[in-house]
Structure 1
Amino acid sequence: MQNEIIKLLKKEEKLSEETIAELSNIEISDFSDSVKELGKNETAYIKREEILKDLNTTYIGKDMYIFNEVMSTNTIAKFLSMNGVGNGAVVISEKQTKARGRSGKNWESPLGGVWLSIILNPNVTHSKIPLITLATGVAVENTLKRIGIQNAEIKWPNDILINDKKVCGILTEAITSFNTIESVIIGVGIDANITLKDFPEELKEKMTTLNKETGEKIDENLLIKTFLEEFEKISKQFMNEEYENILKEWRKHSYTIGKIVEVHEPFSKPYDGYVLGISRDGSLVVEKIDGTLEKVISGECVIKN
């Protein structure tokens, strides 16, 4: 985290070389005000006033930090959450140079997409974190529906697909202290107006964009505003422990249920199975070839042709 904060401040000429050389004697938290100040500056494409205009939320997005370029919005959000920025704050960047996904995968997030992270203080146990990811997927699906895309589906645990191709990814990270969750960072990346040439060669056949699916340029500011409204709706359900309502919506739009998949779990050999459904804790219920049932708590499912 420290390196990313230093690079951000150096790029924006908020740190001199002399100061950087002395950082070993300085707490990185001392620069939190500078990072907050940068996040309040005007940016070229993502416009704070357009997002906030008529924004129908009570707490999500009321505190907002927008950057021209960061390595990862999740890292900035984690840093800010550890330095006085509270529940519902949103970090947005027009570009990310080292975005993170599941299993530590990195990639660049170019102009034309929606790259944001939300800080939540949900006061829940670790076991509920997977449900936050599922709830965010429902929020994205509802957002796309509002802009005219009716066929988006949610792939367990953290992807949104259109016509079998990925258009959005979600990364949820918890900040803990002595086994207590202090805050949760929900990162969301939506491929809005990116062209296929912007994707790595190995991903081009697996990805799509909202622009490609609709045939129209997407208003990123309106997309962000719509998502923040939908996220607050689903987050209130989560806070009120209306988990079954969230799971019901997730099941309704699931891409994974009913599919033959190859399951990849940490520290285990991959195995094939048929996805029967999802349990109350957000785990995937899979029937293996030998007829036994498995609950997949974390990992990845590769859809078999």
Structure 2
Amino acid sequence: MRDEIIILLKKEGKLSDEAIDEIKQVDVHDFANLVKEIGEQETEYINASEISKDLNTRYIGKNLYVFNEVSSTNTVARFLSMHDIEDGSVIISEKQSAARGRSGKSWESPLGGVWLSIVLNPHVDHSKLPLITLATGVAVAKTLEKVGVENPEIKWPNDIMINGKKVCGILTEAIAKFNTIENVIIGVGIDANLDIEEFPEELKAGTTTLEKELGRKGSENLLIKLFLEEFEKISELFDHEGYEEILKEWRKRSYSIGKIVEVREPFNKNYDAYVLGISKEGALVVEKIDGTLAKVISGECIIKN
């Protein structure tokens, strides 16, 4: 994280080449205010004032930090979360140079997408973390419905699909100390106004964009505003332990239930299974080929044709 923050400061002209060696002797945490200052400057495409105008939230997005380019919004959010950043603060970047998804997979993040991270202090047990990811998926799906997408679906645990192709990924990371969750960073990447032909060949077949699906470009600022409003609604439901309502909304939009999948879990052999549903803890409930039932808590499920 140190190197990523130094690169950001250097790119924004806050550090010279000559200062780098000296900087390496300084606690990187001393640069938190500089990072915040950069995030408060005007950017060309994502407009903080336009997002904030008429933003109907109580605390989500009341503090916005918008950057031209960062390695990853989750990295910046994690760094700022260590420096008294307010609950519900949002870090946005017009581009990401080293974005990542679950299991360390890279995520294409050029200009034209929505790349953001939310810092939360939810005061919850570790066991509730999977539900935060599912709740975020519901918020994204509802946002896409508002901009005209018909039937967006949620693929367990963290992808949003349109017509069987991925349009959004979610990465949830917990910052814990002594088994207590201090902050949760929720990263969201939505392929909005992107040209699918510019994607790497290995991603084209399984990826789509809002521009392609809707047949028109949309406003990234409006999309972010709508999402922050939907996210606060679902997060307040989460805060009041409305877990069953969240799961109900998730099940209505599930892309995974009723499909044959290949389950890939850490430290276990891959196996094929039929997806029966979702548990109250947010685990995927599957039936293996031999008829036994299992709960998939972490990993991924590849849909089999």
TM-score, structure 1 normalization: 0.99
Find the counterpart in structure 1 of residue 101 from structure 2: 101
> In the TM superposition, what is the alpha-carbon distance from 1:34 to its structure 2 partner?
0.3
> In the TM superposition, what is the alpha-carbon distance from 1:237 to its structure 2 partner?
0.4
Structure 1: distance between partners of 2:136 and 2:109: 20
CA contact (8 A) 1:97 1:107 kept: no
> In the TM superposition, what is the alpha-carbon distance from 1:130 to its structure 2 partner?
0.4
Structure 2: distance between partners of 1:107 and 1:290: 36
For residues 142-221 of structure 1, what are the structure 2 equivalents within 5 Å? 142-221=142-221
Q: Deviations over 1:271-301 (max 9, x none)?
A: 0000000000000000000000000000000
Structure 2: distance between partners of 1:59 and 1:149: 27
CA contact (8 A) 1:160 1:167 kept: yes
Aligned Cα root-mean-square deviation (Å):
0.7
The residue identity in structure 2 corresponding to 1:110 is: P
Structure 2: distance between partners of 1:84 and 1:18: 30
> In the TM superposition, what is the alpha-carbon distance from 1:200 to its structure 2 partner?
1.3
SS state at 1:98 partner: coil
Structure 2: distance between partners of 1:107 and 1:301: 18
Residue 207 to residue 108, structure 1, CA distance change in 2 (3 Å): closer
Structure 1: distance between partners of 2:86 and 2:265: 33
CA contact (8 A) 1:142 1:230 kept: yes
> In the TM superposition, what is the alpha-carbon distance from 1:4 to its structure 2 partner?
0.6
> In the TM superposition, what is the alpha-carbon distance from 1:15 to its structure 2 partner?
1.0
SS state at 1:212 partner: helix
Structure 1: distance between partners of 2:204 and 2:230: 29
Structure 2: distance between partners of 1:24 and 1:178: 28
For residues 231-250 of structure 1, what are the structure 2 equivalents within 5 Å? 231-250=231-250
Structure 2: distance between partners of 1:237 and 1:141: 16
SS state at 1:290 partner: coil
The residue identity in structure 1 corresponding to 2:59 is: Y
CA contact (8 A) 1:110 1:198 kept: no
Find the counterpart in structure 1 of residue 115 from structure 2: 115
Structure 2: distance between partners of 1:148 and 1:194: 17
Structure 1: distance between partners of 2:269 and 2:65: 42
Structure 2: distance between partners of 1:35 and 1:44: 18
Structure 1: distance between partners of 2:91 and 2:22: 28
Instruction: Find runs of 4+ consecutive structure 1 residues off by over 4 angstroms.
Output: none
> In the TM superposition, what is the alpha-carbon distance from 1:192 to its structure 2 partner?
0.3
Structure 2: any 5+ residue segments left out of the alignment? Answer: none
Structure 1: distance between partners of 2:24 and 2:146: 49
The residue identity in structure 2 corresponding to 1:55 is: L
Q: Deviations over 1:159-208 (max 9, x none)?
A: 00000000000000000111110000000000000001231110101000
SS state at 2:145 partner: helix
Structure 2: distance between partners of 1:58 and 1:210: 28
Structure 1: any 5+ residue segments left out of the alignment? Answer: none
SS state at 1:272 partner: strand
Structure 1: distance between partners of 2:289 and 2:268: 16
- The answer to whether structure 1 residue 124 and structure 2 residue 120 are counterparts is no
Percent of aligned positions that are identical: 70
The residue identity in structure 1 corresponding to 2:258 is: G
SS state at 1:25 partner: coil
SS state at 2:98 partner: strand
Structure 2: distance between partners of 1:41 and 1:197: 32
CA contact (8 A) 1:100 1:107 kept: yes
Find the counterpart in structure 1 of residue 5 from structure 2: 5
SS state at 1:100 partner: coil
Q: Deviations over 1:67-123 (max 9, x none)?
A: 000000000000011111021000000000000111111234000000000000000
The residue identity in structure 2 corresponding to 1:245 is: E
SS state at 2:15 partner: coil
SS state at 1:22 partner: helix
SS state at 1:109 partner: coil
Find the counterpart in structure 2 of residue 38 from structure 1: 38
Find the counterpart in structure 2 of residue 291 from structure 1: 291
